[in-house]
Amino acid sequence: MTFRNLTLAAMLATAPLCAQAEESIIVQSTTSTANSGLYDYLLPLFTGKTGITVNVVAVGTGQAIKNAANCDGDVLLVHAKPAEEKFVAEGRGTQRTDLMYNDFVVVGPAADPAGIAGSHDIEAALKSIADAGAAFASRGDDSGTHKAEMRLWQAAGVTPDGDWYRPTGSGMGATLNTGIGMGAYVLTDRATWINFGNKQDYQIAVEGDDAMFNQYGVIPVNPARCPAVKVDAGKAFSDWLLSPEGQEAIAGYKIDGQQLFFPNAPKVAN
């Protein structure tokens, strides 16, 4: 059953009394925006202003793009810019716009078997992990994080394979849990790490390399390809995210005083 088949009663239970059943949209989304708690913060603000309920399908970026291409969604919000641009070029989205950014980090155990703690050079750190045969847990799921990881391995001149390299096929939170359980290094977006509750003795080992920049984009699904798309409601959500009000709300989401996402929508979109 897809989210479009939610019962009227279920939708009315979560929507304002003034909202109509049809005033709801599906956002196909990367997991990091959900795992970080961002939607829990943002969506009540948007729904309270517009009466539009937002149902989020949080999966890896690759799967989110496939779902949106299959017309199971009104808006796409992910973090793999080349794949997003391809989605628009194929006519599946109307326009891609930068929304916000943060960065990736590598987290690892206090024992630090690869000796990379405190590094700001991701290529050197990945080479050290491979040379040491230190366990590395990868999402392995074609998500935006996995795509970034593969790009970084390639830049480091390393083909990750062998017993030390362990794809999980899981989302970010599950991969962190698995990686920590096996004492493995993990590449994660910083926002998910900040909100993650099972850190144990893990710390950020590698951060601050420009190559670890993590850009998010928002794309309304094209009604020319998907006639059932809720154009007006979807546009209202994407426009709000890109507006000064939405950008301020994104900047205002913090955990323990730490800002998780940094808005960077172009002013022409506001």
pLDDT by residue (tens digit) across 189-234? 999 999 999 999 999 999 999 999 999 999 999 999 999 999 999 9
Q: What is the mean pLDDT of the chain?
A: 92
Q: Is the pLDDT of residue 43 over 80?
A: yes
Q: CB of 187 within 8 A of CB of 156? A: no
- Across 19-23, 160-164, 251-255, least confident range: 19-23
The runs of H, that is alpha helices, within 36-170 are 38-50, 61-69, 81-89, 122-132, 144-156
**SS3 state of residue 53:** strand
Q: Which CATH number fits domain 3-101+215-269: 3.40.50.970, 3.50.50.60, 3.40.190.10, 3.30.565.10?
A: 3.40.190.10
- Binned at pLDDT 50, 70 and 90, residue 33 comes out as very high
DSSP character string of 59-79 = --HHHHHHHHHTT--SEEEES
Residues of the chain with CATH 3.40.190.10: 3-101+215-269, 103-212
**SS3 state of residue 15:** coil
Q: Is the pLDDT of residue 104 over 60?
A: yes
Q: Is the pLDDT of residue 28 over 50?
A: yes
The domain covering 103-212 belongs, at the CATH homologous superfamily level, to Periplasmic binding protein-like II (3.40.190.10)
- Provide mean pLDDT across the span 155-174: 95
Which carries the bigger pLDDT value, residue 105 or residue 7? 105
The runs of H, that is alpha helices, within 133-270 are 144-156, 172-182, 190-195, 231-242, 244-252
What pTM was computed for the model? 0.86
